[in-house]
């Protein structure tokens, strides 16, 4: 079968067009293949033999482990706070001269209280020839026994967190 010259020219132009499209598609495929290879190289094993995916997995496991440790520490802090509420944490000392003829503020009243205002007041009254010590229990910032002004001041300062 023979083709006339005009039909042959049309077929040649169509064949060249198809070849050009095939060349562009081949170049595009090569470009995409290089990009995929580069991305796979990032995911593949590095010099240490560990892949990116396994490194991310290891990091995620470490984060989960750290989260468990933080949760354990938070529970320990809450437990410690609960235990410290009963500890003597509020202390105040008031020094004074119990008698007018003695100086140096050798007498004192010390309040030792926990967070609830429970504890004791220790008082030492210094005189010329002797020193006497007294202790009174405190419950919720008050005592069943009457407090001297200095003892009450020590309790007040301890509850406020101040000292003189």
Per-10-residue mean pLDDT of the chain, 164 residues long, equals 82 94 96 87 70 85 96 95 86 89 85 92 91 94 92 94 54
Helix axes 5-43, 52-84, angle to 10 degrees: 40
What is the rounded CA–CA span in Å between residue 145 and residue 147? 6
Q: In the 8-state DSSP scheme, what is residue 96?
A: E
What is the rounded CA–CA span in Å between residue 38 and residue 32? 10
The predicted pLDDT at position 154 comes to: 96
The predicted pLDDT at position 163 comes to: 47
**Cβ contacts of 101-109, under 8 Å, gap ≥ 24:** 101/128, 102/126, 102/127, 102/128, 107/150, 108/150, 109/148, 109/150, 109/151, 109/153, 109/154
The predicted pLDDT at position 115 comes to: 86
The predicted pLDDT at position 129 comes to: 85
């Amino acid at each position: 079968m023979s083709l006339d010259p005009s039909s042959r020219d049309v077929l040649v132009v169509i064949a060249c067009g198809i070849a050009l499209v095939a060349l562009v598609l081949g170049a595009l495929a090569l470009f995409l293949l290089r990009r995929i290879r580069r991305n796979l190289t990032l995911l593949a094993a590095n010099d240490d033999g560990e892949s990116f995916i396994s490194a991310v997995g290891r990091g995620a496991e470490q984060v989960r482990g750290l989260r468990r440790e933080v949760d354990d520490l938070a529970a320990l802090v809450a437990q410690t706070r609960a235990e410290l509420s009963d500890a003597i944490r509020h202390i105040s000392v008031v020094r004074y001269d119990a008698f007018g003829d003695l100086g140096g503020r050798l007498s004192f009243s010390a309040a030792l209280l926990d967070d609830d205002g429970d504890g004791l007041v220790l008082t030492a009254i210094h005189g010329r020839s002797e020193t006497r010590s007294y202790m009174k229990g405190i419950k919720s910032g008050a005592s069943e026994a009457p407090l001297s002004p200095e003892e009450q001041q020590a309790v007040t300062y301890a509850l406020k967190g101040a000292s003189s």
